[in-house]
Structure 1
């Protein structure tokens, strides 16, 4: 297994291959190198006011039951509201919704006044109608605190997807469009090495 610690003769911060070698466990540049889609978590607070934020940490956990996990800063008012309400909506942003991503990452108090949304019957939180290409309405199942963030495990009750829209991507601290990435030429498939299968009774094979 390769060792990613810098060699004593290597200039500090760089290894022989030119990659950045970190002296402390700072996950930010590591996760920046892992492009993903962009999500906005939305819910209502106890007074029925909409809350939401841009969330970069989301993953599927299980298909049966259909379970997702989002990781949110523990001090976030949106986290407190969705835990109190026990539900939220997960909005996946389409590739023309970069402004919405920036808006909900800014913490601007009027962010719901500056974007279109609706609250369908049975929704877990506001649906960002002009910005999302897919929405999952979720029920909170369990939470777990890790350091300064809380992992929220939730079961998706209902999922709506607009197949005609394309996802917004984010990585290396910049945005990209899925439609542009999908037009890049694909590398040729690498054929799998051929393997000779020993026949029954061959040396080293027990019958």
Structure 2
């Protein structure tokens, strides 16, 4: 068993640990000045509280998506469905014309662009707090609206690969909170 020193003498690489934690895949979107869309793939997302409905995402400090989000103070979290791997990869690549390559819309009152063909659920959020930690910014948003776009299963990411559940399973009553 490989052991990492606790004395701080060597920097810890957290990536091997985090690859063993499979998670859903989201794309965080926001509109910059002149309604220019920005977005990036994000696997660092979680619920903070149900009352009021609040979630958090962690974004690179140098991200143009983060800059747009902090400027307009709203954003959308698009949870990707199992067939949206190409969209996840596109938005992780930094390709400048990514919004020219996907279907998206800006419904009235939304927090950011909705990726209509790639997302199965979308949460529109208003920024309530942000905090820089290392090279990322923790963004906390109050959810103003949730949209279900399809009944398909989510896209998952772990061990440096994409996957999905083999078939949809209903969440049992009393499941994880």
TM-score (norm 1): 0.76
Q: Distance in 1 between matches of 2:14 and 2:148?
A: 31
- String of CA shifts for 1:36-68, please: whole Å, max 9, x gaps: 000000011012100000011000000000000
Q: 1: distance between equivalents of 2:166 and 2:85? A: 14
Partner of 2:95: 108
1:97 corresponds to: 84
Secondary structure in structure 1 of the residue aligned to 2:90: helix
* Residue in structure 1 matching 2:135, options 137, 148, 157: 148
**1:112 aligned counterpart, secondary structure:** helix
The reply on whether 1:158 has 2:119 as its aligned counterpart is: no
Distance in 2 between the 1:44 and 1:77 partners?
10
1:86 paired residue number = 73
Q: Secondary structure at the match of 1:129?
A: coil
Is the CA contact (8 Å cut-off) linking 2:82 and 2:164 kept in structure 1?
Answer: yes
The question of whether the paired residues in 1 share the 8 Å contact of 2:116 and 2:149 is answered with no
TM-score (norm 2): 0.89
The answer to whether structure 1 residue 38 and structure 2 residue 25 are counterparts is yes
Distance 1:181 1:83, change over 3 A: same
The reply to whether residue 170 of structure 1 matches residue 161 of structure 2 is no
- Point out where structure 1 has 5 or more consecutive residues left out of the alignment: 1-14, 183-207
SS at match of 1:101: helix
> In the comparison of the two structures, how many residue pairs are matched?
164
Q: Distance in 1 between matches of 2:69 and 2:141?
A: 11
Structure with larger Rg: 1
1:133 alignment partner in structure 2: 120
* Aligned twin of 1:59: 46
The structure whose RCO (Cα within 8 Å, separation 6+) is larger is 2
| Matched position secondary structure for 1:43 | strand
Task: Report the secondary structure of 2:35's partner residue.
Answer: coil
Please state how far the C-alpha of 1:163 moved relative to its aligned partner.
Answer: 5.4
In the TM superposition, residue 136 of structure 1 has moved relative to its aligned partner by 0.2
Displacement of 1:162 = 3.9
Two-structure CA RMSD over aligned residues (Å): 1.4
Structure 2 residues without counterparts, runs of 5 or longer: 6-10, 170-177
Does the residue aligned with 1:178 lie in a helix, a strand or coil?
Answer: coil
